[in-house]
Chains A and B, each alone.
Chain A
C-alpha cells in the first residue's frame, strides 16, 4: 500500500520523461533477474560495485544480451564482502562511476519486474542511488524467488514446520547446479533459473515435496 502510494506520488512529480517507461509495467511479460555485489551489507552506507541483469522472456533466459557493469565505489570495500564476491579494490578502480552506469541499467530494465533472491536488498541498494540522483523510488514490481519457492514448498505446510529458504536449499530442491563463483552474473543467472522453474511449477500446479524434498525428481511426480 505504501509502495503503491509512493509510486503514484513519484510518477506525478517525475521531471525527466526519460524514466517514464519504468512506471508502466512492460506488457510483454518479460522480467529482469538482477544481482548486485556490494562493498558490504549495509544498504545505507555501502556501495554497489557490480550489477548484472538478465532478461527472461517466457521460457528463455537471454544470457546473450545480459547487462554487466562494474562500478567504481565511493565507500571502502570491506574484507568480508571481498571474500564473497572476490572483487578487490583494484578490480573496480578502472570501472565507471554509478552516475554513468545507472542510466544504462534503468534503460535496460524498463518497465519489467525485478526478479532475484533477496531482491529487496538489491532493490534497496539501487533505490538509494535512484532517489539521490533522480528523486524517485525504483517503481518496478519485485518478484522474490524465495517467495515463489516458499509457496511451492511450504504454502500448505502445517504450523510449526521447519522452514528453510536458503539459496542452497532452493538450489538443491530444484536440482540446479551450484555455480562455482558467486559473482553478480552467476547469482542473477541462478535466480533466473529458479524463476523459470518455479513459475512453470506454479502454472502446472506442481508442489515441491517436503519430506523427500532433496530431490527435484520427487517434485515432478506430484503434478
Chain B
C-alpha cells in the first residue's frame, strides 16, 4: 500500500476515493534492471504497470522504439485486458514500476465506466470519455446539448387572414414575440419587429391581414441537432429565430436569446455587423471580432472543429461582403471568388495565411482586374490576414485569370509537374466559392478530376507529397520516441498535414466533391476503402491535432509571435494528453502506410 502512489493523475483520477484506496492497497512494486524485458509482445500479463521511477521503452514488431515511458506513465493494459501486449516493453534504465494486479484492475473496470474507457484500445472512445469528463467545465456542455434540451418557445399558429391588431393581441395573450402564420399549405413567421415596421414605418392600417407582413422563408432545425448546429444556422442565415421541427412537425421556436441565456458568446452578431458595413474600414472591425472570438470560444472550451466551422462561416461572410464592396461591376458579373487550402476546408482558426483566387467567366478590362487585385489584397492585409507564403492569392495573376486559361494551367500542373505543382493542385482541390458565379469553380474542379481520373502516375505523384516531411520508417518513429523526452513535435508536419494530404489524394482519385477533411473521410469510408472505425479514428486524430495546434497557436499569439506556433513540447502535456498524442500519431502512421501502399509510393 504505497501511499506515495498518485491517484490524482489520469486515469486514476476517475476512481472514487474508496476505489482508489482499494487499488493502492493492492499495489506491489517491481524492480527491473536495465535491458530487461518487462513484457513480451503478445504475452498476457498479471499486472498493469505504472512507472514509478526510471524509463521503459515501447518497441513495435520491427523493434522500433515507439515511445519512452517515464514516471506516472502506464503500460500493459492490453496485456491485462485483452490478453496480449501490443508491444514489447523493455526497461531502458533501472526501473521501478507499480504492479497493479489483474483482478483488481478488471474489477474496477467493470464497476467504473469512466475508468474503463481509458483501457479501450481505440482513441475515439478515449476522447469521448475525456470530453464527457470535461463536460460542464465550459461552454462545451451547452453547445453539445441537443436543441430539445433547450427551453423552446411553444409554437402558436394564426391564420394569414388575421389582422395586425388581432395578431398583436394574440402575442400579448400568449406572451410571445413571434407567431407562426398559416396560409393554406405554407407556413411563415411574424415577429413583433415585423408588426412595428408594418404599423409604424409602413403605416399599414391595423386591419391589414398579417399574411402581408409575414416572412415566408422559414429557417428550421431538427430538435435532435446540437445547440451548436442551431448557432451555426443562425449565423449562416443571419436570423435570430429558428423553427424547431421534430419529424415533420413544428414543435417550437428557438431564439438566439435562449442560447445566449445559456452562455455568453456573440458569433451570431458578427454577420449583422458585416452586413451593415458600408466601407472596407467598417469591415475591419468585424474582421477583428472574428479573430477575437476564436480566443474566447477556445477559452470557453468549445471544440476546435466547431470553432473552425464558425470561423470559416464568418470569414466567408466577410469575403463575400468585401467582394461586393470593392469588385468592379465587370468582375462582379464574370467573377467567382474562391478560398482554398485550410480556409476552403473550413479548418482554419487562427489566421496563419490566406489562400484565395478569382476565376473569370470571360476576360474583363485589365484596369478593373489590376485595381481589384491591389484593393482586395490591401483590404485583407488591413484585416490582419498574413500574406500567403506560396503566393496563392488574388493578387497573383496565376490565381486570378479566366476559367479557360486556368484549366490550361491545371493541365500543365498535372501533366508536366514541377516541385510546386502538387501543392498548387492540393490547395486548389480544397477550393470553395464564396462569392459570384459558383458554376465556374464547379467546372474547374470537374475538369481537374477528369484529368486525374485513371492517371495513376499523376495521382501518385500528387500523393507523394505525403512524404514531404520525412516518412514513416525513421523520423515518425523518432518523433514518437521523443514523447516523454524534451524534443518539440511539429504538429502540422507530423499530424495534420499527412492526414489532410492523404485524404485529399484519395478524394481526388474517388472524385469526392466535399472539401472538409472530415466529410471526405466519411465519403471515402462509404466507398469501403477503409472501415468506419478507422474513419472515426482518423477524424478524431485530426481533431486532436487541430486542438493541440490551436492551443499552441494561441500561446504563440499571446506571446506575439508566429515562430514555432505548430511546435509542441511533450513535457507541456499531461500524461493523458501524451497518451492521446501517441495514439493519434499511431493512427497517422497507419494511415500513411495505407496511402503509400495504395498509390504504390514505394516505387517512386
Judge if B29 is at the interface, Cβ distance under 8 Å: yes
- B94→A197 contact, CB < 8 A: yes
- B33→A60 contact, CB < 8 A: no
| Minimum CB–CB distance for A87 against chain B, Å | 15
Q: Cβ of A176: which chain B residues have Cβ within 8 Å of it?
A: 53
Given that A185-B3, A200-B33 are contacting pairs, would A217 and B28 also be in contact in the complex, using a CB cutoff of 8 Å? no
- A61→B33 contact, CB < 8 A: no
Judge if A175 is at the interface, Cβ distance under 8 Å: yes
Q: Cβ of B32: which chain A residues have Cβ within 8 Å of it?
A: 59
| Minimum CB–CB distance for B557 against chain A, Å | 38
- A63→B28 contact, CB < 8 A: yes
Chain B positions 12 through 28: 1 when the CB is less than 8 Å from some CB of chain A, otherwise 0: 00000000000001111
- B4→A186 contact, CB < 8 A: yes
Judge if A14 is at the interface, Cβ distance under 8 Å: no
Most chain B C-beta atoms within 10 Å of own C-beta, residue among A61, A179, A193: A61
Q: A197 vs B29: C-alpha distance in the bound complex, in angstroms?
A: 12
Judge if A69 is at the interface, Cβ distance under 8 Å: no
- A196→B3 contact, CB < 8 A: no
Q: Cβ of A189: which chain B residues have Cβ within 8 Å of it?
A: 2, 29
Q: Categorize the interface residue count of chain B.
A: 20 to 34
Judge if B30 is at the interface, Cβ distance under 8 Å: yes
- A60→B30 contact, CB < 8 A: yes
- B93→A216 contact, CB < 8 A: yes
Judge if B96 is at the interface, Cβ distance under 8 Å: yes
Judge if B99 is at the interface, Cβ distance under 8 Å: yes
- A217→B31 contact, CB < 8 A: no
Chain B positions 22 through 50: 1 when the CB is less than 8 Å from some CB of chain A, otherwise 0: 00011111111110000000000000000
Most chain B C-beta atoms within 10 Å of own C-beta, residue among A63, A179, A216: A63
Judge if B260 is at the interface, Cβ distance under 8 Å: no
Given that A175-B94, A217-B93, A220-B93 are contacting pairs, would A64 and B27 also be in contact in the complex, using a CB cutoff of 8 Å? yes
Chain B positions 99 through 116: 1 when the CB is less than 8 Å from some CB of chain A, otherwise 0: 101000000000000000
Judge if A169 is at the interface, Cβ distance under 8 Å: no
Judge if A13 is at the interface, Cβ distance under 8 Å: no
- B94→A216 contact, CB < 8 A: yes
Q: Cβ of A217: which chain B residues have Cβ within 8 Å of it?
A: 93
Q: How many residues of A contact B (CB 8 A)?
A: 27
- B33→A193 contact, CB < 8 A: no
Q: Cβ of B4: which chain A residues have Cβ within 8 Å of it?
A: 177, 179-180, 186
Judge if B131 is at the interface, Cβ distance under 8 Å: no
Judge if A204 is at the interface, Cβ distance under 8 Å: yes
Given that A216-B94, A217-B93 are contacting pairs, would A60 and B3 also be in contact in the complex, using a CB cutoff of 8 Å? no
- B28→A59 contact, CB < 8 A: no
- B28→A60 contact, CB < 8 A: yes
| Minimum CB–CB distance for B105 against chain A, Å | 13
Q: Which residue of A lies closest to B53 (CB)?
A: A177
Q: A186 vs B4: C-alpha distance in the bound complex, in angstroms?
A: 9
Judge if B388 is at the interface, Cβ distance under 8 Å: no
Q: A169 vs B145: C-alpha distance in the bound complex, in angstroms?
A: 57
Given that A177-B53, A220-B94 are contacting pairs, would A59 and B30 also be in contact in the complex, using a CB cutoff of 8 Å? yes
- B27→A193 contact, CB < 8 A: no
Q: A179 vs B34: C-alpha distance in the bound complex, in angstroms?
A: 23
Q: Cβ of A181: which chain B residues have Cβ within 8 Å of it?
A: 3
Q: Cβ of A179: which chain B residues have Cβ within 8 Å of it?
A: 4
| Minimum CB–CB distance for B33 against chain A, Å | 5
Q: A59 vs B91: C-alpha distance in the bound complex, in angstroms?
A: 13
Judge if A62 is at the interface, Cβ distance under 8 Å: yes
Chain B positions 533 through 556: 1 when the CB is less than 8 Å from some CB of chain A, otherwise 0: 000000000000000000000000
Q: A66 vs B99: C-alpha distance in the bound complex, in angstroms?
A: 14
Q: Cβ of A220: which chain B residues have Cβ within 8 Å of it?
A: 34, 93-94
Q: A192 vs B96: C-alpha distance in the bound complex, in angstroms?
A: 11
Q: A193 vs B26: C-alpha distance in the bound complex, in angstroms?
A: 18
| Minimum CB–CB distance for A177 against chain B, Å | 6
Q: A64 vs B104: C-alpha distance in the bound complex, in angstroms?
A: 12
Judge if B1 is at the interface, Cβ distance under 8 Å: yes
Given that A176-B53, A216-B93, A216-B94 are contacting pairs, would A61 and B29 also be in contact in the complex, using a CB cutoff of 8 Å? yes
Q: Cβ of B52: which chain A residues have Cβ within 8 Å of it?
A: 177
Chain A positions 154 through 181: 1 when the CB is less than 8 Å from some CB of chain B, otherwise 0: 0000000000000000000011110111
| Minimum CB–CB distance for A188 against chain B, Å | 11
Q: Which residue of B lies closest to A61 (CB)?
A: B29
Q: A220 vs B92: C-alpha distance in the bound complex, in angstroms?
A: 10
- B1→A64 contact, CB < 8 A: yes
Q: Cβ of B99: which chain A residues have Cβ within 8 Å of it?
A: 60
Q: Cβ of A192: which chain B residues have Cβ within 8 Å of it?
A: 29
| Minimum CB–CB distance for B225 against chain A, Å | 50
Q: Cβ of B94: which chain A residues have Cβ within 8 Å of it?
A: 174-175, 197, 200, 216, 220
| Minimum CB–CB distance for A5 against chain B, Å | 36
Q: Cβ of A59: which chain B residues have Cβ within 8 Å of it?
A: 30-32
- A197→B31 contact, CB < 8 A: yes
Q: A68 vs B2: C-alpha distance in the bound complex, in angstroms?
A: 12
Given that A64-B26, A176-B53 are contacting pairs, would A204 and B31 also be in contact in the complex, using a CB cutoff of 8 Å? no
| Minimum CB–CB distance for B5 against chain A, Å | 9
Q: A177 vs B568: C-alpha distance in the bound complex, in angstroms?
A: 28
Q: Please provide the chain A residues from 21 to 44 with a CB less than 8 Å away from any CB of chain B in the complex.
A: none
Q: Which residue of B lies closest to A220 (CB)?
A: B34
User: Of the candidates B26, B28, B34, B93, which one forms a contact with A61 in the assembled complex, judged by CB atoms under 8 Å apart?
Assistant: B28
Q: A186 vs B27: C-alpha distance in the bound complex, in angstroms?
A: 14
User: Of the candidates B25, B53, B96, which one forms a contact with A64 in the assembled complex, judged by CB atoms under 8 Å apart?
Assistant: B25
Q: Please provide the chain A residues from 198 to 219 with a CB less than 8 Å away from any CB of chain B in the complex.
A: 200, 204, 216-217
Q: Cβ of B2: which chain A residues have Cβ within 8 Å of it?
A: 63, 189
- A175→B1 contact, CB < 8 A: no
Q: Please provide the chain B residues from 544 to 576 with a CB less than 8 Å away from any CB of chain A in the complex.
A: none
Q: A176 vs B31: C-alpha distance in the bound complex, in angstroms?
A: 12
Q: A45 vs B127: C-alpha distance in the bound complex, in angstroms?
A: 61
Q: Cβ of B34: which chain A residues have Cβ within 8 Å of it?
A: 220
Q: Which residue of B lies closest to A181 (CB)?
A: B3
User: Of the candidates A68, A174, A204, which one forms a contact with B33 in the assembled complex, judged by CB atoms under 8 Å apart?
Assistant: A204
Q: Which residue of B lies closest to A195 (CB)?
A: B31
Q: A181 vs B3: C-alpha distance in the bound complex, in angstroms?
A: 10
Q: Please provide the chain B residues from 37 to 79 with a CB less than 8 Å away from any CB of chain A in the complex.
A: 52-54
User: Of the candidates B29, B31, B54, B93, which one forms a contact with A63 in the assembled complex, judged by CB atoms under 8 Å apart?
Assistant: B29
- A186→B3 contact, CB < 8 A: yes
User: Of the candidates A175, A185, A186, A193, which one forms a contact with B29 in the assembled complex, judged by CB atoms under 8 Å apart?
Assistant: A193
Q: Cβ of B25: which chain A residues have Cβ within 8 Å of it?
A: 64
Q: Cβ of A216: which chain B residues have Cβ within 8 Å of it?
A: 93-94
Q: Which residue of A lies closest to B94 (CB)?
A: A197
| Minimum CB–CB distance for B512 against chain A, Å | 52
Q: Cβ of B1: which chain A residues have Cβ within 8 Å of it?
A: 63-64, 66, 68, 185
Q: A51 vs B461: C-alpha distance in the bound complex, in angstroms?
A: 72
- A193→B31 contact, CB < 8 A: yes
Q: A68 vs B26: C-alpha distance in the bound complex, in angstroms?
A: 15
Most chain A C-beta atoms within 10 Å of own C-beta, residue among B25, B31, B96, B101: B31
Can you offer 10 A-B residue contacts whose CB atoms are under 8 A? Answer: A60-B30, A60-B99, A61-B30, A62-B28, A64-B25, A175-B53, A177-B52, A189-B29, A193-B96, A220-B94
> Contacts A177-B52, A189-B29, A216-B94 given; 11 further ones with Cβ under 8 A?
A60-B30, A61-B31, A68-B1, A175-B54, A177-B53, A185-B1, A189-B2, A193-B31, A193-B96, A200-B94, A216-B93
6 smallest beta-carbon distances between A and B, as pairs: A196-B31, A61-B29, A59-B31, A200-B33, A64-B26, A63-B2
